[in-house]
Amino acid sequence: MEQTPATTPKKSNKATIIIALLSIVVIIQSVKIYLDYVDKAEITEQKANVEEDLAGTMQRLKEIQAELDTKIVEIQKLGGDITDLKKAKAEVDAQLRRNVASSSKAIKELKDRLQGYEELLRIKDDELEKLKSVNKELFSENKQLKTQKNVLNDSINRLATKKEELATKVALASQLKAENIAVMAVNNKGKERESPFKNRQLEKLKVEFTLADNKVAPIEGKKILIRVVDENGQVIFDVAKGSGTFMLNNKEEFYTAAQEILFDNTRQKLTFFYEKGSDYPSGNYRIEIYTDGYAMGSAQFSVK
């Protein structure tokens, strides 16, 4: 009975040791769980940061793609070289189509490319400014040249107009005029009478006039025409007796008689004889003299 108290402390010490060991295991396990949690949280955070970094890099890549498009259009419009821009654009397009690995190394490589594209864009910005400056100068010079050309064209047009006006004046000034126009009736005995005429006195109609002095008119061959027009506006003509047609105001008209002469500006006197072969109806008549499609003069006579 006296040995029982001696065994109790041994059991108590053993239990204490077991409890201590279990506590240590629990503590170690708890520490491990905590450390695993911390590691997992760090990994998750790192992954989130990498994905965020990748997303930002890809967004910048898209912005550079748009900037490259804009620069290509602007520089091409100004006549600059876009070869390197098109090459960079093709690389960016390919990069955006490609799945980029979510790794720090891949993102770093992509960022390095971005820096290169950004540097290219900066260089092209400078080049674009120079092109704009050159084009502005060219535009200014071109505008000045156009202004000078317009002034020159205006001068040429004014000269052409003056030349035309002068030519018209010369043409008008060079037109021949018939002066001292006399219309006579000649009977079968050769006797001449002035208007008014009787048909028995009018065997032949005689028209005589002088070509006025004209220093402007050239010495050249001329066809002088006369027309005998009745009071109804009808021209007396007979093709068998030398009558014919000519152009007057863009219209074909008949003439009564014609002569071809060499105009030499010596105040030549011309005489026309026209034998109608039948009586003239009573009334008033007009003699019209033409050459080269314009009127030289006119006179009148009447038949009773």
Give pLDDT tens digits for 260-293. 999 999 999 999 999 998 999 999 999 999 999 9
> What integer pLDDT is reported at residue 175 of this predicted model?
93
Residue 236 clears pLDDT 90, i.e. is over it: yes
Task: For 5-20, write each residue's pLDDT tens digit.
Answer: 555 566 678 888 888 8
Whole-model pTM: value is 0.51
Which pLDDT does position 1 carry in this prediction?
46
Nearest to 227 by CA among 238, 216, 211, 213: 238
**Are 295 and 225 in contact, with CB atoms under 8 Å apart?**
no
Which carries the bigger pLDDT value, residue 209 or residue 172? 209
Domain 178-303 has CATH 2.60.40.10: yes
183 neighbors 287 (Cβ within 8 angstroms): yes
For residue 44, the model assigns a pLDDT of 61
Query: Alpha-carbon distance 114 to 236, whole Å?
Result: 101
Phi, psi (degrees; rounded to nearest 5) at 268: -65, 145
Confidence of residue 47 (pLDDT cuts 50, 70, 90): low
Other CB atoms within 10 Å distance of the CB of residue 119: 10
Q: Taking 80 as the threshold, does the pLDDT of residue 42 lie above it?
A: no
Average pLDDT, the chain: 85
Interval 223-227 mean pLDDT: 97
pLDDT at site 230: 95
The arithmetic mean of pLDDT across residues 209-236, rounded, is 95
Given a cut of 70, whether residue 50 has pLDDT beyond it is no
Contact 226, 288 (CB under 8 A): yes
The pLDDT, as a whole number, for residue 2 is 47
Give φ, ψ of 298 to 5 degrees: -155, 160
Peptide bond just before 218 cis, omega within 30 deg? no
pLDDT band for position 166 (50/70/90)? low
Residue with tokens 């071809």: 260
User: What are the residues facing 247 on neighbouring strands?
Assistant: 252
3-class DSSP state of 257: strand
Q: Give the DSSP H/E element, type plus range, for residue 5.
A: helix 4-77
Instruction: Name which residue leads in pLDDT, 243 or 52.
Output: 243
Which two three-digit tokens encode residue 81? 């070289």
**Average of per-residue pLDDT across 59-73:** 87
pLDDT at 48: 57
Pairing of the two strands 220-230 and 235-236: antiparallel
State the SS3 of 58-111.
HHHHHHHHHHHHHHHHHHHHCCCCCHHHHHHHHHHHHHHHCCCCCCHHHHHHHH
* Whether residue 70 has pLDDT greater than 60: yes
Domain with CATH 2.60.40.10 in the chain: 178-303
Q: What is the pLDDT of residue 16?
A: 84
Between 33 and 103, whose confidence is greater? 33
Q: What is the pLDDT of residue 289?
A: 97
